[in-house]
Amino acid sequence: MAVELIFVFMMVAFVLGVFLLKLPIGLALVLASVVGALSGGEGFPLRHLVEGQFGYLDSILIIASAMVFMKVILHSGLLDTIARKIIDHLHDKPVMLLLSMMAVIMFPGMITGSSTAAVLTTGALVAPVLIGMGIPREKTAAIIALGAIYGMVAPPVNIPVMIIGGGIDMPYVGFGLPLLLASVPLAVTVVILIGYQYVRKVDLSKIGDRLPTSFGEAHGLKIYLPVVVLIVLMLGEKVLPGRFPSLGLSLIFLIAAVVGAFTGRKLNFFKVALEAVHDALPVMGILMGVGMFIQIMTLTGVRGMLVIFCLALPSLFLYLGIATSMPLFGAISSYGSASVLGVPFVLALLGQNEIMTASGLSLIAGLGDLMPPTALAGIFAAQIVGVENYFKVLKYCIWPAVLTAVYGIVLILNANAFMKLFDDLQGSLIVLAVFVGYILLIVLLARLGVKLWGKEETTC
């Protein structure tokens, strides 16, 4: 059978599995893999299916351990404490509070690689604060949804990049600064452009019953120890190469999680870990299905066909295809978009630095969480703020999504130049200074706009 028809059968099976049979995305990918193998004359290749299933074992372990860490600091009260401390100290400084709330929204996505986790945890914590600052509910939900996606792209855990890397045998190493460049500038720009025109000083007495509770007074500074341990273990090997043990992300998250079990509210660690793994199962299932899907694509020649097709595209259509097809396919699954389209696109762009290219592609693939009919980030964000029609939220995400896609293409086009810059500045504080300077510039321009147009800050 022609390779093109095999790919069509695989995609039809996948779409029917999701929308007709209502299968989880992971099982739909398994179904598509089996159909692809049968239509390709390979029968039921159990060895390849099992081999593909374990192709992303490292990523699965990272996700599971990261989710355990997130659940521990959620149950211990650390997340609530951090959010409350920020609100208490910055409630009369609207711009800084706005930027801080965006950072809080992004944090779970950075740790777990899931935008949904960010929306449902810290997104729910900060929603009353953003509304209390004067931001309309629909735009509050848009900020939460977009912040969750940028958090999903930011380091240390970026699942689409892990999927792309697994497809081209590229280790998940050296992505810290590229992923920061792909996420932080957009997060700062979007939250300021959407929210600054509304922000006012927050009257805590009016939203006091909806504010997160601080457990810092009851447990002291030790409640922050899990995050301190996490940062030290992550940076230790880079700061002291050769003298600091190389633990790996999975073990680092587990160590920090165990520490967190004894620093805040009492919790049953094994019960929390079981809950975390249960919540992470859909994502881990998707990765197993993606591994099978890529393995069968390779076995039947579909993967090679896609690469050749991408290589044959003129540059203009190649980049246009990246900017449109990856978000549209991401409406089914951003992880599936990274596997089916991200891998061929990276191979078609081998002249560009693979690390920066994969980072840019992951940013564009993340937009799939805003695409109907699934639009997970948008739907959950709308539910959190009490908006029934999530399309009212998505309409405020249109121009940020276009900006994000264009920015991702810019990163890919200039991948070599950006990585040369990072190589030259690696280990210095200059890159950090650039990020800080950018944030200060955005805030300065926002304040200048207030003075020019005579907008006054009032208490809400």
pLDDT in tens, 218-243: 888 899 999 999 989 888 877 777 78
In this structure, of 2-11, 52-61, 174-183, the range with the lowest mean pLDDT score is 52-61
pLDDT band at 244 (very low <50, low <70, confident <90, very high): confident
pTM for this structure? 0.83
Whole-angstrom distance, CA of residue 198 vs CA of residue 130: 10
Tokens of 368: 């799939």
pLDDT band at 425 (very low <50, low <70, confident <90, very high): low
pLDDT band at 447 (very low <50, low <70, confident <90, very high): low
pLDDT band at 435 (very low <50, low <70, confident <90, very high): low
pLDDT at 444 over 80: no
Within a domain: 40: no
- Top-confidence residue, 431 or 274: 274
In this structure, of 23-27, 137-141, 374-378, 435-439, the range with the lowest mean pLDDT score is 435-439
Within a domain: 196: yes
Residue 370 and residue 142 in contact, taking contact as beta carbons nearer than 8 Å: no
Tokens of 67: 């989710």
Query: How far, CA to CA in Å, does 168 sit from each of 44, 177, 349, 388, 418?
Result: 25, 21, 12, 42, 21
Cα angle 57, 60, 65 (rounded to 5 degrees) comes to 125
The pLDDT of residue 434: 66
- Top-confidence residue, 91 or 333: 91
Residue 90 and residue 202 in contact, taking contact as beta carbons nearer than 8 Å: no
pLDDT in tens, 100-143: 899 999 998 898 888 888 898 888 888 988 988 889 999 999 99
Domain of residue 156 covers 45-453
- Top-confidence residue, 373 or 367: 367
> In one letter, which amino acid is 428?
S
The pLDDT of residue 142: 94
Q: How much is the average pLDDT of 390-403?
A: 91
Within a domain: 26: no
pLDDT at 80 over 60: yes
pLDDT in tens, 309-341: 877 878 788 899 899 888 987 776 788 788 788
- Percentage above 90 pLDDT, the chain: 30
Q: How much is the average pLDDT of 24-28?
A: 86
Within a domain: 20: no
Within a domain: 15: no
The pLDDT of residue 456: 42
pLDDT band at 446 (very low <50, low <70, confident <90, very high): low
Residue 294: closest CA among 57, 28, 63, 48: 48
Within a domain: 162: yes
* Cα torsion angle, 262, 264, 266, 269, sign: negative
Within a domain: 127: yes
The pLDDT of residue 455: 47
The pLDDT of residue 356: 93
Contacts of 383 (CB under 8 A, 6+ apart): 390
Within a domain: 438: yes
The pLDDT of residue 208: 65
Structural domain tally of the chain? 1
pLDDT at 424 over 80: no
pLDDT at 290 over 70: yes
